[in-house]
Chains A and B, each alone.
Chain A
Amino acid sequence: MSTVRNQAVLTAMQQGLHSCEGCGLLSRPASGGHEGRCPRCGHELTFRKQASLQRTWALLISAAICYIPANILPVLTTTTAAGAESDTILQGVVLLWSPTGWPLSLIVLIASVMIPLAKIAALAYLLISVQRGSVRNNEQRVRLYRIVEIVGRWSMVDVFVDTFTASLVQLQPLMAVEPASGLVFFAAVVVLTMLAALSFDPRLIWDPSSSKEVHYA
């Protein structure tokens, strides 16, 4: 469609209304106030998530820092009669690779190595584009945000693989598997990126476009 809608696009914020994140109720803050409480569910209200950009950046940078030791340090140590051997996430992927086991190996590679990295890159792109006041590709950017929200939890998979391998393979003195220090950093990456996605406010993507009077539909 290339028709020009001549009406202004109005957001709740432009009308001085709080849209509740908890229950969806629209309400008006007391005269001139910026903060308030939702009369229906009691949630603390602000126009946008508080300090969304700063918080998301802080969590994202922490995640990026933890991503390095998470991939360099071993996540599992296997002790057998022949000695101890430690594997990083990538070595685990390689070990799992076989003519029959390659699909699972691929899943671990995507979930543990690629998803966290893609998530960090995607959120950084969203943050930078919001800070530059970009008005382009809004639909794609909000779609990207939704994908980040949905896919993020799957990077937990390696935490569970290592947890249950370690708790099951306790066959001393034949063989014992224990977690190693990389797992802590890896778990931190997963949690930090999930928190970063939660603290980002997707409404910020649209704010620069909303302030324009004419909306091209």
Chain B
Amino acid sequence: MTPARAALGLAVLLGLLAFAALKVDTDVRGLLGEDDQVTSALDTPEGRALTLAIIDPDPDKRSLLAAEIAETLATRPLVRRVTTAPEAPTTEFLDWIWQHRFVLAPPPQAAFTPQSLVSEMRRARAALLSASDAALADRYLRDPTGSFRRAITALTAASAKALPVHRGIPQARDNSAALIFIELADEPFDVAVEAAFDADLISQVRAGGADALLIGPRAISAEISNDIATRSTLAAAVASALLLLWLVCVLRPASAMLVCVLPPAMGFAAAALVVQVSFGSVHVIALGFGGALLGLALDYPLHLLAHRAGPGQNHRARRFVAVGAATTAIAFLALLGSGIPAIGQVGLFVASGLTVAAACAIWLADRGQPASLRSFAPVMLPFVVPLKLPALAAFALVCAATLWQLPERTSQRLVEVPPRITDAIKRLSTMIDLPSGRYRIDVTGKTLEEVLVRQARLAQILQIVSSAESFPRSEMLGNYLPKRLAKPKFPSPEAFSETLSGLLAEAGLDPDFLGDITASYKAAHDIPPSGPQALGPFEHLAAIPGLIRVDGDILRAPVRLWSVAAPDRVAQIVGGLRDEGIVFVDQERSIASGLDALTARVSLWLGLGVLAGVLFLLLAIRRPMVVAEIALGCLAAGLLTALLVGIPTGGVGVFHIMALTLVIGIGIDYGIFLTLSEDDKQYQDATRSVLLCAATTLIAFLTMAFSGVSVLEEIGATVSIGVIAMVVVHGARQKITWPAEER
């Protein structure tokens, strides 16, 4: 068995093992931590909400189609609830309102005056004869404070403000579509399941002869994920085809390609196994980004092939590959200290993968069949820059200072929303007047009362500000309830009973009914604080979906905002309340802050790793000036790359930093081969292998840079620019160390 076949067999075995054992983890918390605002967005009722607009100019046709689709939707297991017509309050909901009426609509002091009590009892008597109030009149009679009636009236008014209805189906405000509101079942988000569900729904609408618009966080996420997957697959296929073509062109014989492909393949399989065994699963970031970084391993066999001219050369090349791989592996291992599971896995993945790949490449180079590279590279002599070290140091300083001056990257996103989705959201916004998806004010509290008191305080401030200046329109739970006092005062049940005792006859009621009224008053008066467990049916009231929800052991009641032109002003107003339960949220900035923190942490640990790598290089090479030249070269080229990619995008993001790690790894290899050349022949071979490796890397990463996926574009552009910068920086020499006659 030839060594290549043995290595191939081993790679296949490792691959099969990895395939069998691998458990891929896609949880974003592995990258962004436990920030509920960012990572659980798809698991809240709002995250599981879908709006289906059935677009057709004929209101009858679209409404009938909507009713038909809603009926079939209600039977599907993926659907928790379908809302078409405004819903009548359930008995359970009315019972809840009755029990919590003093929390929702605490009666003002004036409600306890004899006149008010008599007036309320007369009103309750009249309600017995009203078609709209008949079901509630019994409770009106038992609550002469009017609290229950005011709560019901306010909530009914909220329903009246809802969308217009035709044939029992809500209609778009611009009369263009019938609307169905869907809440998906509380199941984990699965891209394939969601995409299939969405496609089926849209095809049902189209089969009915109408056009469909389907918007919701999960639908958008599924579409973006599929879009990224399609574009990434296409980019990977194009890059692989171009790489294969390139290797066929430069390798002699072409069958030597196996020698080039086996090390990274074996490194990938081994790395996946090591991470799986160490962490119990492999995060998709480690698999994807670690896999891309392992592309660096393709350079090893190319370097070794380029230096096969003589036995001495061969030995040097093997040593350089081993030193380069070990230096990069040490630098990446430091990422384990970052404390971010996905990033730590990337570190271990790259370190173990590069080590195995380098060992495989060296083993194959010693035992492989003769192979060589086509002599395409021009013979070059080193370009000497006498003051290279101080020049590099000064250049690095200038780059670092300029980078420091770049503005904070506030619009950093994990993914870019395609224009089609942005347009669809705008269109839906004209149909149902969508609030801002970016800005909101979060009001939290341990009890419903605490939340409502905070909202009342906020509403008061917003009203004052709105009357004085142009301020965003807002909507909150408190808007749908009667205006409340900050600290309502209730008389004791005994005092209440005493006040009421002489008034029943005056109101036309039987004085014997006093006991029933007093018992109802006492029950509402003594109700325990309404915490998350007590929220129950109120959370799902159709008229105010999403305006309050249970979040662990607190209640969260978001205040929706429209047309936020000056977010800083809103933040200032909210901050002025000095209440930790009222917070202005810029969703985009929250994500950007999370990514900034991630970037800072990754940069810190990677910096420490690079220092450890440089220390290792110093120990391995034992020539401080050469190590300084390599390290400074990598630093200057890395900073220049960061500057060039950071200026057009408004700052350096986490994906730039991750790509820069690959650039540094590549730079160390280039630096070792070019800077340690000791004669013209060695320099010529080093130039040839470096240019060949650079061309190979550029083929893969330039394809990525034009993939149309923002993350891949950032990585592709960074690596492409970085590789060119590394070639230029390491190609120039501080001085030529070999004797003149050698030249």
Partners in one complex: no
Which residues of A line the B interface, CB within 8 A?
A: none
Which residues of B line the A interface, CB within 8 A?
A: none
